[in-house]
């Protein structure tokens, strides 16, 4: 018997308000006899995909290097954006105190 596992589904969800992105991958598990006859074929439960620094199934097993690079850049930009928003809030607060 031969068992194979192939990705069949890649799910990605973005939250427009927070910029968060979560991804999952689903696989089909196929079991065949040595003569090629199909024994079973079923979808396995989806599992989280590691995006950037997240833990999960290696994204490189699903996407190519270009896609991974773009997602990693997006994660970095999101973190930088959050830091800049925090800094703007701090400066706005300081300005309000100076004007008072």
Instruction: Render pLDDT for 29-85 as a digit per residue (tens, 0 to 9).
Output: 999 999 999 999 999 998 888 766 567 777 676 667 667 777 778 878 888 998 999
Give the pLDDT confidence score for residue 43 in this predicted structure. Answer: 93
User: Residue 78 in contact with residue 52, Cβ under 8 Å?
Assistant: no
Residue 67: predicted pLDDT: 73
pLDDT value of position 28: 92
Report d(CA 3, CA 79) in Å as an integer. 41
Per the confidence metrics, is the pTM higher than 0.75? no
∠ Cα 57 63 69 (to 5°):
100
pLDDT at 100 (0 to 100): 82
Domain residue spans of the chain: 2-99
């Amino acid at each position: 018997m031969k068992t194979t596992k192939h990705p069949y589904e890649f799910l990605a969800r973005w939250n427009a308000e927070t910029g968060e992105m979560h991804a999952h991958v689903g696989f089909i598990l196929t079991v065949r006899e040595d003569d090629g006859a199909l024994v079973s074929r079923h979808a396995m439960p989806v599992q989280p995909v590691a995006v950037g620094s997240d833990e999960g199934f290696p994204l490189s097993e699903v996407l190519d290097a270009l896609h991974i690079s773009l997602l990693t850049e997006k994660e970095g930009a999101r973190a930088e954006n959050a830091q800049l928003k925090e800094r703007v809030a701090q400066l706005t607060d300081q300005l309000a105190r100076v004007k008072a």
